[in-house]
């Protein structure tokens, strides 16, 4: 006989070693199971269920009274301060992330960077200046709210693929915050910044450090007190193995300009010349002359060259430098800066921009371009800035520039051929030689991947038709004509050929690795995700550029593991790699095993494991995951990932409350919309903003069900947004109900940003499907975004009916089910907090059960631990009241094991199944 639950606010605990199994001799003895009670159908919304599998009516009566008191207090306290979620969720969220890694240029070392968990709210509450699309921390003269690393370790990579002993980078004091970590071109040193906060005056000490890769010993590089770093834009870059170009605060800079008590004058915006300027809404632009002065004050830098021995040399005059690009031969510097006149409607990225060439010793060479203010770029997808754009150094040449220029004035609405032209010229052109035309394109240029002069891959794309082309060109052979290597729909995941494997040159640039085989021709490697109808199977193909013929030389396991290629670990100064000496860094994971890194070595393809990360949430190590396929009523095939709690059996245990979490996508074809773009073998890592947390509360979770909004041919997808949205949601709900895993009356829907917009529309137009909704950081009134949103490029005046029909605020009177609205107070995107506030007012004015939570200091995504925990608490409370309540009690397992792969895990699953059969909480 199982013991009764004594109090509703206490967890029911059973000890394996004592009396929970039918046969005590077979019971494991390694921890506890915890069963959390759920709420009753006949109790009021805040009451817990009073029925257990065994027990007297008097016990149940006491339990019900205590339950009502407990939940009544919980409801009253919901308005007070920051709250924390249940312990079993909090423990999952607080797991620190695994380290990041950076591979040395010569592929002989790997640097691991320790990361912290979520920052405290006090970090977000620090003063900041919001200027021209960026947020500045005035105390450190860097971007505000920057994350940081807490430590660095370096390992040698041995010839057999194993890692040598860890070398801890040391020399700085405890508590340092580390940023901007980079290898020197030769891989012998690392440069990074260290910052400390003065607890007395809240000032920040930001300094540039360098560490020896062999010993790990670190020291400050700029030791003069007169040198202060400016990290608003690019802070520093290695010019060569022993010299760094650094942005610093001009020594002549005084105190920041003070805002006058009396304004300079009225704010005036004028369009007397009838220009057509269409901008998507934002609130971080410069507002007045004072903010222009602040932008100048914080963003202006003096460039200095700092050598490893501490010598300092100023370079170029002070300016607002946004990019620093040394040439591969270490002779030239390409400096990009912005200047006045500024704008109050666009960010700094569209300010007048100047690109200049200087020698490393400080001699001005020439001006590459000086582009005017670009306020008038059309909102149509594919529109770009006029003039030279994407100016880069060729990574395979000493000092050659390339760039692209639009031939349609940057306006995607203009039909012209060619649309873009790619040019190239040397940094120091001789005898007034003209730039060379590399390629003329009829679509919009995307990027170029270079391959040591002999070949290059040029990519172009056109969003409206989803066409994409990959060209093969021979930039240094004028008698070789460009050839189309691939042409396909960018939506067609099944035909995606992958991207080239890149190799690091001695200059620190990246080019396509040439693969030497026993066959003639030029070969490269393509790595891809390998989308297939049965799930993603990452691959590695050997491609003959001359013929276009491909050979698959490796692909991931199909049965249990998901493996993917991360980087090339072979090194050759000429970037020519022998196929039988190929060495790759790969990751490998399964549904229940977290991703680990391996070195895979040819020709035998042996692999050596180099990390051994523990399971981040062992209490859910045995969760159940399945990629499911189903179909909506118009025949479009859909995909979702279904997660179920550990030990759950639908045939024995009945349907669960379910949370559906998604984000709609737009497509041009039904075929592309129906393709599978996920793998059943990927590890289910649970993050603080993902719905899998509620597996720990006994929910089924349907994650990312595809919600395709399709506009075939000349049709616009959003003209049938509501119909397709509802049809996709109906198909998802019908499938999980058909499978018996979800209770049809206990299905909640939620999403973030455009997913929140989806949630509100579903509650308005498909109220029969869901019991409640959670909408985070959404925009609910599309008339407040009149110049387009998401992939919609028509204006409000061009598609008035669509804007109004898609706006949930216009259908607030149709919503009946409870909806929880959450928003960051400092959200600067088109999804401003005002959107949620106005939607809440509309809902409340129509008597809809709703709740609005505004998070102080938070932006579009939530960062502070207090905020994240409170959002989880709010969501859990909402789901408990309106989804988990009114259904039968759900049993939830919380087990603690040392590792996800320990034998105890399997025993735990067997034991939990037995407990399910013994402890059956009845349907009220």
Residues forming the active site: 753, 827, 860
The terminus-to-terminus CA distance of the chain in angstroms comes to 21
Structure tokens at 249: 């605060």
Residue whose C-alpha is closest to residue 368's, from 384, 357, 353 = 357
Beta strands in 501-595 (DSSP E): 502-504, 510-512, 514-516, 523-528, 539-544, 550-555, 561-568, 576-578, 583-590
- Whether the Cβ atoms of residue 589 and residue 682 lie closer than 8 Å to each other: yes
The DSSP call for residue 884 is I
Q: In the chain, what is the greatest distance between 2 CA atoms, to the nearest angstrom?
A: 101
**DSSP assignments along 337-359, one per residue:** EE-SS--SSS-GGGS-EEEEEEE
The DSSP call for residue 521 is S
Distance CA(106)–CA(157), nearest Å, equals 10
**Phi and psi, residue 171, nearest 5°:** 130, -25
Buried b / exposed e along 590-627 (16+ C-beta atoms within 10 A): bbbbbbbbbbbbbeeeebeebbeeebbbbbbbbbbbeb
- Whether the Cβ atoms of residue 178 and residue 150 lie closer than 8 Å to each other: yes
Distance CA(84)–CA(51), nearest Å, equals 28
- Cα 497 to the center of its chain, rounded Å: 23
C-alpha Rg value of the chain to the nearest Å = 30
Residue whose C-alpha is closest to residue 775's, from 792, 752, 794, 742 = 752
Nearest-10 Cα torsion for 44, 48, 54, 58: -70
Which residues are registered as beta bridge partners of 179? 193
Distance CA(280)–CA(294), nearest Å, equals 24
The residue to which tokens 């189309």 are assigned = 484
**Phi and psi, residue 70, nearest 5°:** -60, -45
């Amino acid at each position: 006989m199982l013991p009764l639950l004594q109090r509703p606010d206490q967890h029911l605990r059973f000890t394996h070693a004592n009396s929970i199994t039918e046969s005590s001799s077979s019971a494991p003895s390694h921890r506890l199971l915890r069963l959390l009670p759920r709420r009753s159908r006949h109790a009021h919304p805040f009451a817990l269920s009073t029925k257990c599998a065994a027990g007297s009516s008097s016990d149940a009566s006491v339990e019900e009274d205590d339950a009502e008191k407990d939940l009544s207090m919980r409801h009253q306290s919901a308005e007070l301060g920051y709250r924390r979620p249940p312990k079993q969720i909090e423990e999952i969220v607080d797991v620190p992330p695994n380290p990041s890694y950076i591979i040395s240029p010569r592929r002989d070392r790997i640097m691991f960077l320790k990361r912290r968990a979520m920052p405290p709210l006090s970090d977000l509450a620090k003063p900041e200046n919001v200027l021209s699309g960026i947020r500045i921390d005035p105390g450190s003269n860097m971007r505000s709210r920057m994350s940081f690393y807490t430590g660095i370790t370096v390992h040698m990579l041995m010839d057999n693929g194993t890692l040598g002993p860890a070398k801890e980078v040391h020399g700085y004091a405890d508590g340092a915050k580390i940023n901007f970590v980079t290898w020197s071109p030769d891989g012998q040193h690392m440069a990074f910044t260290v910052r400390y906060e003065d607890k007395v005056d809240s000032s920040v000490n930001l300094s540039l450090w360098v560490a020896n890769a062999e010993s790990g010993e670190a020291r400050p590089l700029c030791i003069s007190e007169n040198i202060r770093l400016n990290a608003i834009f690019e802070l520093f870059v290695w010019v060569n193995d022993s010299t760094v170009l650094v942005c610093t605060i001009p020594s002549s800079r005084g105190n920041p300009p003070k805002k006058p008590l009396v304004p300079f004058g009225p704010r005036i915006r004028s369009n007397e010349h009838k220009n057509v300027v269409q901008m998507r809404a934002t609130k971080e632009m410069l507002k007045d002359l004072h903010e222009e002065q602040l932008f100048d004050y914080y963003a202006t830098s003096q460039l200095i060259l700092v050598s490893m021995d501490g010598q300092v040399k100023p370079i170029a005059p002070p300016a607002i430098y946004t990019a620093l690009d040394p040439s591969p031969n270490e002779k030239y510097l390409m400096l990009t800066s912005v200047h006045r006149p500024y704008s109050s409607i666009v960010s700094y990225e569209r300010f007048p921009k100047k690109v200049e060439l200087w020698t490393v010793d400080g001699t001005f060479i020439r001006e590459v371009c000086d582009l005017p203010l670009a306020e008038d770029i059309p909102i149509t997808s594919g529109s770009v800035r006029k003039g030279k754009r994407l100016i880069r150094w060729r990574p395979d040449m000493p000092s050659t520039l390339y760039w692209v220029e639009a031939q349609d004035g940057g306006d995607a609405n203009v039909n012209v051929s060619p649309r873009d032209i790619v040019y190239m010229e040397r940094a120091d052109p001789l005898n007034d030689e003209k730039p060379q035309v590399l390629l003329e394109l009829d679509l919009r240029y995307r990027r170029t991947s270079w391959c040591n002069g002999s070949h290059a891959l040029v990519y172009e794309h056109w969003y409206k038709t989803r066409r994409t082309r990959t060209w093969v060109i021979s930039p240094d052979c004028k008698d070789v004509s460009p050839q189309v290597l691939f042409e396909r729909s960018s939506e067609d995941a099944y035909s995606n050929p992958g991207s080239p494997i890149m190799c690091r040159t001695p200059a620190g640039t990246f080019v396509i690795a040439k693969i030497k085989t026993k066959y003639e021709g030029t070969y490269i490697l393509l790595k891809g995700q390998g989308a297939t109808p049965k799930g993603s199977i990452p691959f590695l193909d050997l491609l003959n550029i001359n013929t276009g013929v491909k050979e698959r030389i490796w692909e991931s396991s199909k049965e249990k593991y998901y493996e993917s290629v991360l980087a090339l670990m072979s090194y050759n100064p000429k970037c020519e790699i022998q196929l039988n000496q190929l060495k790759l860094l790969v990751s490998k994971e399964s549904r229940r095993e977290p991703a680990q890194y391996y070195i895979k070595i040819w020709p035998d393809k042996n692999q050596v494991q180099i990390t051994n990360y523990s399971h981040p949430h062992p209490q859910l190590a045995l969760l159940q995951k399945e990629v499911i396929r189903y179909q909506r009523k118009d025949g479009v095939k859909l995909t979702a990932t279904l997660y179920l709690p550990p030990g759950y059996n639908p045939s024995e245990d009945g349907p669960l409350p379910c949370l559906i979490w998604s984000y709609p996508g737009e497509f041009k074809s039904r075929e592309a919309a129906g393709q599978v773009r996920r793998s059943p073998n990927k590890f289910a890592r649970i993050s603080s903003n993902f719905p899998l947390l509620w597996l720990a509360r006994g929910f089924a979770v349907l994650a990312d069900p595809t919600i395709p909004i399709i506009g075939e041919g000349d049709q616009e997808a959003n003209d049938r947004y509501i119909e397709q949205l509802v049809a996709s949601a109906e198909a998802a709900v019908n499938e999980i109900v058909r499978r018996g895993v979800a209770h049809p009356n206990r299905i909640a829907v939620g999403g973030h940003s455009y997913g929140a917009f989806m949630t509100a529309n579903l509650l308005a137009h498909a109220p029969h499907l869901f019991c409640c909704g959670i909408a985070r950081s959404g925009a609910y009134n599309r008339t407040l975004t009149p110049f387009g949103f998401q992939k919609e490029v028509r204006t409000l005046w061009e598609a008035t009916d669509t804007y109004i029909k898609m706006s949930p605020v216009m259908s607030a009177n149709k919503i009946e089910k409870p909806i929880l609205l959450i928003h960051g107070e400092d959200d600067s995107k088109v999804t401003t907090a005002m959107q949620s506030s106005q939607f809440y007012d509309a809902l409340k004015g129509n008597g809809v059960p709703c709740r609005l939570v505004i998070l102080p200091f938070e932006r579009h995504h939530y960062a502070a631990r207090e905020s994240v925990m409170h959002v989880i608490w709010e969501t859990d409370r909402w789901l408990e009241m309106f989804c988990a309540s009114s259904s039968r009690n759900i049993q939830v397992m919380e087990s603690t094991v040392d590792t996800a792969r320990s034998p105890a895990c399997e025993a735990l699953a067997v034991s939990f199944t037995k407990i399910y059969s013994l402890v059956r909480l009845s349907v009220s």
